[in-house]
Structure 1
Amino acid sequence: MSEAILIVEDEPKIAKLVADYLAGDGFTAHRLEHGDEVMPWLLDRPSGLPALVLLDLMLPGTDGLTLCRQIRQQWPALPIIMLTARVEEVDRLLGLELGADDYICKPFSPREVVARVRAVLRRAGGATGHNGEALDSLALDDDGWRALAGEHDLGLTAVEFQLLRVMMQAPGRIFSREQLMDHMYRDHRIVSERTVDSHVKKLRRKIADVWPEREIIRSVYGVGYKYQPEE
């Protein structure tokens, strides 16, 4: 079965062109034109979520940045590529901070869009699911809130488990400390960035106790952290 791509774009000619190129590359494309249609459409998917969302910034109804935030909160691992004619750096940064995996400025080549879709899906390919399904060399048991390295239970706290789970669902993606705090503490309590660093340090130590030669949680200087499965 071909992978489904949701295109949220209010310019029908652009949406159709991108959909045609995606279909020509083996994808199944679905199109929505109004921002208010997106969340209901995603929530009512008996066949499952799309593999990726192409999301325009300027939409009637709910705008693209708001939708990006809503999608990321509901489905942290669902890849998002934002499309926009606004090239101001603040918009680029804001879109990525809200959780977009990539950003394409108009005008663009539809071949470029297909190539970017392929690239983002390759980066996201390390995550395979929930409820104990294997993610790279680790397995997460969502029901038991356990992380298993082989047969070894890492003995994570609830916060450490959530921290690892979020990063493993998007291999290679860099999460800022603020983004990790939002996922770790859903009650939006006020904590310092050093708190995140402390949890990451403890998580790394527990992984190193089992795999001392591996470094799969990596820091990106001045930005944050990422889960990087070994090749």
Structure 2
Amino acid sequence: MASGKILVVDDEYAIRDMLRMALEIADFDCIETDNISDAHSLVVDERPDLVLLDWMLPGGSGIELLRRLKRSEATRAIPVIMLTAKSAEDNVIQGLEVGADDYLTKPFAPRELVARIKALLRRSQGMEDNQRLAFEELLLDADGRRVYLADKPISMGPTEYNLLYFFMTHPERAYSRSQLLDHVWGANVYVEERTVDVHIRRLRKALQSHGKDYSGLIQTVRGTGYRFSVRGLEDH
């Protein structure tokens, strides 16, 4: 049984061929395309478990497709890893802020890519906890992997969900960015620490929904990192 279905979107045949071989060796099903239009159709029709999306594509940027996927309720939760030859920090941050869950800068080792994919799928497909966590009007349903604010569902990506789950199960303690990476991303996966800041911003934005502002629950601890604190709402 395959480990999951991965959509590869890259206009270079040699890159797609390398990715397909690496994914098939790792027991993933692989579908592929070289353009944005076909990529969106494949996401809708095939419902891949994860998308590997090149930054530069014919007819537009992979960022355009990423924005389209994240705007739709039907495709928003599908994890996306950006593949980019651009190493400038603003390009990486732009992809994360639009909604990418991770990124890799070319050239990269296939083994690292597979490790990133497996870690992201673990984050997106499940914490094996049967419980509901609540604070005032914020509710996290671990069974359904849903979050509610004022009895209405709020949308967030798998990484933001797992950050919130970790925070709600470990309240009132400050964690460094490195510790959050180990607990949420996985100790064997290399992700730069600035990635944590981007996902914290996205989590805080998600917690501002339905006329409520619970973003203050996620506190910045100067010189350390972040903390989930019920006292955050009192000061917010």
Same structural fold, with TM-score higher than 0.5 when normalized by the shorter chain = yes
Q: Distance in 2 between matches of 1:79 and 1:27?
A: 15
Q: 1:171 aligns with which of 128, 138, 162?
A: 162
| Closer, same or farther: CA 122–147 of 1 in aligned 2, 3 Å | closer
User: Matched residues in 2 for 1:220 and 1:136: separation?
Assistant: 29
Residue type at the aligned position of 1:176: R
- The code of the aligned residue for 1:54 comes to L
| 2:56 aligned counterpart, secondary structure | coil
Q: CA deviation at 1:126?
A: 2.1
5+ residue gaps, structure 2: 134-138, 164-183, 185-198, 229-236
Displacement of 1:44 in angstroms is 2.3
Other structure's SS at 1:66 match: helix
CA 91–155 in structure 1, closer or farther in 2 if over 3 Å, else same = closer
Kept after mapping to 2: 8 A contact 1:126/1:170:
no
Extract unaligned runs of 5+ from structure 1.
Answer: 128-133, 140-145, 186-194, 205-217, 227-231
Length-normalised TM-score, structure 1? 0.64
How far is 1:118 from its partner? 1.0
1:199 corresponds to 2:190: no
Distance, in Å, in 2 between the alignment partners of 1:70 and 1:50 is 16
Off by >4 Å, runs of 4+ in structure 1 = 146-150, 218-226
Q: Structure 1 residue 65: deviation in Å?
A: 0.8
Corresponding position of 2:69:
71
Taking a change above 3 Å as real, the CA distance of residues 107 and 181 of structure 1, as seen in their structure-2 partners, is same
Q: Distance in 2 between matches of 1:71 and 1:183?
A: 21
- The alignment of Structure 1 onto Structure 2 pairs a total of residues equal to 180
Task: Verify the 8 A CA contact 2:81 2:100 in the aligned structure 1.
Answer: yes
* Counterpart residue type for residue 113 of structure 1: L
Q: Which structure has more strand as a fraction of its residues?
A: 2
- 1:203-223 Cα distance to aligned partner (Å, 9 max, x none): x7xxxxxxxxxxxxx555599
Query: Once the two structures are aligned, what percentage of the paired residues are identical?
Result: 31
Q: CA deviation at 1:181?
A: 5.3
**In 1, Cα distance between the equivalents of 2:103 and 2:57?**
16
TM-score by length of 2: 0.63
What SS does the aligned partner of 1:166 have?
coil
